Structure formats: structure tokens, C-alpha cells
A and B are shown apart, each in its own frame.
Chain A
Amino acid sequence: DQQVKQNSPSLSVQEGRISILNCDYTNSMFDYFLWYKKYPAEGPTFLISISSIKDKNEDGRFTVFLNKSAKHLSLHIVPSQPGDSAVYFCAASQHPGYALNFGKGTSLLVTP
């Protein structure tokens, strides 16, 4: 059973606007959450992470929000750029360094 869910397979956003990618999880033992970005024919690359002791983490244009009570996290990209077009995977683990449980990904298209 899928413990990490990304319910939107795709998202299209205009350049300069905000992209919001959502992720839900079911396992309350998850303690550490990450977002990975993937281009075709490449492996996923780390984007940003957050531990369960925080509710927000920011890195440049990327911000991850965590709502533990709702078991929900989101990735905000502001402003969106065409180079951000990729598949974004949400991932979770019970501890940093443990194996990751991935969502199925959301394909983001940023149009000029």
C-alpha cells in the first residue's frame, strides 16, 4: 500500500507564478520528509527536506510546509521558471538515513 501519495499526476503553471505541489502520507512514524526533482533519463536529485520538528523550511525559491496533524506537506516554488519543469517526488522516512518511501510523482510544466 502506498504510504506516500501525490494525488496530482500533473500540474501546469505560468512562468513567474507560484507552483504548489502537494503530498499526503499515512504513516505517523514518518519523521523526515524530502522533495526530489527528476528530469527524463536522469536520477532523482535532492531539492529540499524538512524534519518533523519543523513546519517550514525555505531554500531560495523553494519552501516546504509540513502539517503533521493533517499528515500533509507541500512544496512551493516562487517564482516558477521553465527550468523547473520536471517530475517532483515527495519522499518520507522514519529517520534520516533510512530508506525512503516515495510518492508516484507530480509532473510540473512551467510555460513561458
Chain B
Amino acid sequence: DARVTQTPRHKVTEMGQEVTMRCQPILGHNTVFWYRQTMMQGLELLAYFRNRAPLDDSGMPKDRFSAEMPDATLATLKIQPSEPRDSAVYFCASGLVRLAGVVAKNIQYFGAGTRLSVL
């Protein structure tokens, strides 16, 4: 049963500390997304990659957030330094995007999320 795996599931940290969240996309998927869910904003895009190349990171605070894909099986989201306003649930999603002109479902499959609390 293929699924997106996110670690850790929960993280409590103090303001100023570095936080690293990891995501293992579904094997064979070529697109990885990072979303954040808060009560105020709902689900919002932070960044996404296709074939490991960043396509859009306009939703990310550049001064403290960074997203990378060291290889096709791992995506990371780092916050340094963390602040209380970063407290949220962070979701990773992956999908197989075909760019051959055929309209396909191109569904995004979500992990269970990392719940981050910054005190």
C-alpha cells in the first residue's frame, strides 16, 4: 500500500530552535508539495518540486524556511529559527505529473502531516 510518509508526526520545540521535517514521497512520483494548515489560513502552499527541481516557493518565508530534495526519495522542510507563529500542521503531498499533453487526474497524495508546536 503506497503512501507518503512524514516524520516526525509531532514536534514540540522552543522558539529559536531549528526544526527539520522529512517526507518520503510515493515511489515513482515526480512532484512533491509542501502545504501548511492553520486555523486562520487553512491549507496553503509553501513550495513544490518537480523532478527534484524547485518550481515554486513563493509561499515560504525565505528568511527562515528552506525546502530541498536531496534525492528522489526524500524531501525536507527546515525552519531556522522557529517562531511561535510557525505552529501548524505541515503536510507533504506527492503526485505523478505527466506532461505529455494528456489530461490526467494528477491526484496529489498526502501524508499524515507533522504537527509542529513552537513554544
Residues of A in contact with B (beta carbons under 8 Å apart):
2, 32, 34, 36, 41-46, 49, 51, 89, 96-97, 99-105
Residues of B in contact with A (beta carbons under 8 Å apart):
4, 31, 33, 35, 42-45, 48, 56, 91, 93, 95, 97-99, 103-113
User: Are B95 and A42 in contact (CB-based, < 8 A)?
Assistant: no
Given the contacts A43-B111, A43-B112, A49 and B105 also touching, CB distance less than 8 Å: yes
User: Are B105 and A43 in contact (CB-based, < 8 A)?
Assistant: no
User: Are A96 and B103 in contact (CB-based, < 8 A)?
Assistant: yes
Q: Considering only CB atoms, which chain B residue lies closest to A34 in the complex? A: B107
In this complex, the member of B48, B98, B99, B108 whose beta carbon has the largest number of chain A beta carbons within 10 angstroms is B108
* Dominant secondary structure at the A interface: loop
A34 and B95 CA atoms in complex are apart in Å by 14
The answer, among B48, B56, B99, B107, for a CB contact under 8 Å with A46, is B107
Residues of A within 8 A of B45 (CB): 99-101
In this complex, the member of A51, A97, A100, A101 whose beta carbon has the largest number of chain B beta carbons within 10 angstroms is A97
